Structure 1
Amino acid sequence: MPKNNKLQPVQLPMPIRFNEKPNFEFKNDLENIKVTLVDCTPWRSLVNYLPGYVNATWADKPQDDFAIEQIIDDVEKAFTFKTLPSILETIRLTFRIEGISVQDVTHLIRHRTFSFSAQCTGDRWLSHHTAVVPESIENSPEFLDRYKKLTQECRELYADMIDSKKISIMDARLILNKNHDNFYYASTNVKDLLGFIKQRLDRQIQPKSDNIIAYQMYLALCRAYPIAHLNLIDFEMPSFHYIKNARNGHATNLYYPEANSDKFEWNEKDFIYQGYREDINGTEKPEGPTIFEKMLAGYKEELEDMKKQSKQYIEHLKETGGLQ
C-alpha cells in the first residue's frame, strides 16, 4: 500500500523519550523487591469444590454438601500432599514481582511451569529505571563510587545513542548494566508454586534476591488461604542439594554451610569463599545483622503471627460450622 502522511498517526502504547537525560536513583536490591498476589482462586470457591474433587475416587455420585469438619480436613490433606495432588494444580495464583534486576529475571523465568508477562527492554526507554545495588557493594565505598559512575555512564551512552536516531532502542540496550529494575507477572498453581519456593529459599546456592522473592510469595499464599498453621514451608529447611553435592566435585560451593545445612564433613578449602554468606558483605561490613537477616527475621515474625490467626480461624469454623 502507498504511504499516506495524511493519516492520523497511531498513538503508540509507550512514552516517547527522545532527548531526556537519564534521571534515576540507586536502591538496595533486596529492599527494592515487592511481590504482590494480584489474583487467585478465591478461598470460598476453593472450599466449595475441593472436598468433592478429592473424594471423587470413592463416590457413587457427585457430592457438594460436606460437613465443615470434613472440609477443613480435606483442605489440610490437600495442601500437605496427603490426597490427590492434582487438586493443587486447580488453584491458580498470579503475582506481580517488582523491583528485580535483570539477573533476577533470568532466575525467575527458568521456572518453566510458570506463565509470564514481561516488562520488556526493546519496546520502551530504560533511561530512568531504578538501579539496584547489593548490600555488599553498598558496604564498599571504593567500589560503590565506581559502580554508580559506570552505571551513570552506561545510561548516558544509551540515551545518546537513541537520541541520534541512527541507533535503535533494540541495539542501544546492549550497553546497559544488569542492575536496572524490572517487573514481571508470573502465574502458576499452588503445586508448582510450592516447588518453586522450596527451591528458591535455599540460602547456600540461591542468591539472596531469590530467597526474598520466595519468602514474599509464601507469605502472600498464606494470606490468601488460611494454611499457615500447616507449616508447608520451613524457612530454615536444609539445603539438601548442597548437602548432597558439596563434596562430589559437581557443585559451585560458594560459602561455608549454615547451621541448618551443616550436616556433612567439609574442608575450608572446599569453598570459593572461606566464610559464611552473610560474612561476605563488603569491605567495610558494619556490626550487627545484615539487611537480609533483618528482612528474614521480619518475615518469620509475620509468619508466626499468621499461624496464630490461622489456628483461631480454623477453630472458629469448627465452632460455628460456617465459612467466612
Structure 2
Amino acid sequence: MPKNNNLEPVKLPMPIRFDEKPDFEFKNDLENIKVTLVDYTPWESIIRYLPGYVNATWADEPEETYSMAQVVDDIEKAFTFKTLPSILETIRLTFRIEGISVQDVTHLIRHRTFSFSAQCTGDRWLSHTTAVIPESIENSPEFLERYKDLTRQCRELYAEMIDSRKISIMDARLILNKNHDNFYYASMNVKDLLAFCKQRIDRQIQPKSDNIIAYQMYLELCRAYPIAHLDLIDFEMPSFHYIKNARNGHATNLYFPEENSDKFEWNEKDFIYQDYRENINGTNPPEGPTKFQKMFQEYKNQLEEWKIASKQYMDHLAGRGEDE
C-alpha cells in the first residue's frame, strides 16, 4: 500500500525519550527486589474441589460435599505430597518480580515450567532505569565510585547513540551493564513453585538475590494460603547438591560450608574463597550482620508468626481441639 501521511499517527505503547539525559538512581540489589503474588487460585475454590480431586481414585461416584475436618486433612496432605501430587498442578500462581538485575533474569527464566512476560530492553528507553549494586561493592570505596562512573558512562553513550537517530534502541542497548533493574511476570503452579524455592534458597551455590526472590515467593504463597505450619520449605535446608559434589571435581566451590551444609570432610583449598559467603562482603565492611543476614532473619521471623496463625486457622476450620 502507498504511504499516506494524512493518516493519524499511531500512538505507540511506550514513551519516546529522544534527547533526554540519563537520570537514574543506584540502589542495593537485594533491597531493590520486590515479589508480589498478583493472582492465584482462590482459597475458597481449593476447599471446594480439592477433596473430590484427591479422593477420586477410590470413589464409586463423585462426591460433592465433605466435612471440613476431611477438607483440612486432604489439603494438608496434598500440600505435603501425601496424596495425589498432580493436585498441586491445578493451583495457579502469578507473581510480579520487580527490581531484579539482568543476571537475576537469566537465572529466573531457566525454569522452563514457568510462563513469563518480560519487561524488554529493545522496546523502550532504559536511560532512567535504576541501577543496582551488591553490598560487597557498596562496602568497597575504592571500587564503588568506579562502578557508578562506568555505569553512568554506559548510560550516556547509550542515550547519545539513540539520539543520533542512526543507531536503533536494539543496537544501542548492547553497551548497557547487567546492573539495570527489570520486572518480570512469572506464572506457575504450586508444585513447580516449591521445586523452584527449594533449589534457589541454596546459600552455597545460588547468589544472594536468588535466595531473596525464593524467600519472598514462598512468603507470598504463605500469605495467600494458610499453609505456613506445614513447613513446606525449610529456609535452613542443607545444600544437598553442594554436599554431594563439593569433593568430586565437578562443582564450582565458592565458599566454606555453612553450618547447615557442613556434612562432609573438606580442605580449605577446595574453595575459590577460603572463607564463608557472608564474610566476602567488600574491602571495608561494617561491623554486624550483613544486609542479607538482616533480611533473612526478618523473613524467618515473619514465617514463624504465620506458622502459628495458619495452624490456629486450620485447627479452627477442622474443629480440632474444640472438645478439649
TM-score clears 0.5: yes
Q: Deviations over 1:71-111 (max 9, x none)?
A: 01000000000000000000000000000000000000000
- AA aligned to 2:163 is D
Question: How many Å separate the matches in 1 of 2:247 and 2:83?
Answer: 37
Give the number of aligned pairs.
321
Q: TM-score, normalised by structure 1?
A: 0.98
Alignment of 1:261-280 (within 5 A): 261-280=261-280
Question: How many Å separate the matches in 1 of 2:236 and 2:64?
Answer: 39
Gap regions ≥5 residues in structure 2: none
Q: Deviations over 1:22-73 (max 9, x none)?
A: 0000000000000000000000000100000000000000011100110010
Question: How many Å separate the matches in 1 of 2:314 and 2:188?
Answer: 26
Q: Residue 183 of structure 1 corresponds to which residue in structure 2?
A: 183
Question: How many Å separate the matches in 1 of 2:64 and 2:143?
Answer: 63
Question: How many Å separate the matches in 1 of 2:319 and 2:159?
Answer: 64
- AA aligned to 1:38 is V
Question: How many Å separate the matches in 2 of 1:218 and 1:271?
Answer: 30
Q: CA deviation at 1:320?
A: 9.3
Question: How many Å separate the matches in 2 of 1:314 and 1:64?
Answer: 21
Q: Residue 198 of structure 2 corresponds to which residue in structure 1?
A: 198
Question: How many Å separate the matches in 1 of 2:70 and 2:230?
Answer: 16
Q: Residue 159 of structure 2 corresponds to which residue in structure 1?
A: 159
Q: Residue 303 of structure 1 corresponds to which residue in structure 2?
A: 303
Q: Residue 142 of structure 1 corresponds to which residue in structure 2?
A: 142
Q: Residue 87 of structure 1 corresponds to which residue in structure 2?
A: 87
Question: How many Å separate the matches in 2 of 1:316 and 1:260?
Answer: 35
Gap regions ≥5 residues in structure 1: none
- SS for the counterpart of 1:129 is coil
Q: CA deviation at 1:126?
A: 0.3
8 Å CA contact 2:54, 2:83 repeated in 1: yes
- AA aligned to 1:299 is Y
Q: Residue 25 of structure 2 corresponds to which residue in structure 1?
A: 25
Q: Deviations over 1:243-282 (max 9, x none)?
A: 0000000000000000000000000000000000000000
Q: Residue 172 of structure 2 corresponds to which residue in structure 1?
A: 172
8 Å CA contact 2:69, 2:319 repeated in 1: no
The answer as to 2:208 corresponding to 1:208 is yes
- AA aligned to 1:225 is Y
RMSD: 0.9
- SS for the counterpart of 2:161 is helix
8 Å CA contact 2:268, 2:274 repeated in 1: yes
- AA aligned to 1:21 is K
Q: CA deviation at 1:314?
A: 1.2
Question: How many Å separate the matches in 2 of 1:74 and 1:313?
Answer: 15
8 Å CA contact 2:103, 2:178 repeated in 1: yes
Question: How many Å separate the matches in 1 of 2:83 and 2:47?
Answer: 15
Question: How many Å separate the matches in 1 of 2:315 and 2:87?
Answer: 24
Same amino acid, percent of matched pairs: 82
Q: CA deviation at 1:318?
A: 2.5
Question: How many Å separate the matches in 1 of 2:80 and 2:319?
Answer: 23
Q: CA deviation at 1:317?
A: 1.1
The answer as to 2:291 corresponding to 1:291 is yes
Q: Residue 42 of structure 1 corresponds to which residue in structure 2?
A: 42
8 Å CA contact 2:70, 2:318 repeated in 1: no
Q: CA deviation at 1:315?
A: 2.0
- AA aligned to 1:319 is G
Question: How many Å separate the matches in 2 of 1:192 and 1:311?
Answer: 24
Question: How many Å separate the matches in 1 of 2:150 and 2:274?
Answer: 29
Q: TM-score, normalised by structure 2?
A: 0.98
- SS for the counterpart of 1:233 is coil
Q: Residue 230 of structure 1 corresponds to which residue in structure 2?
A: 230
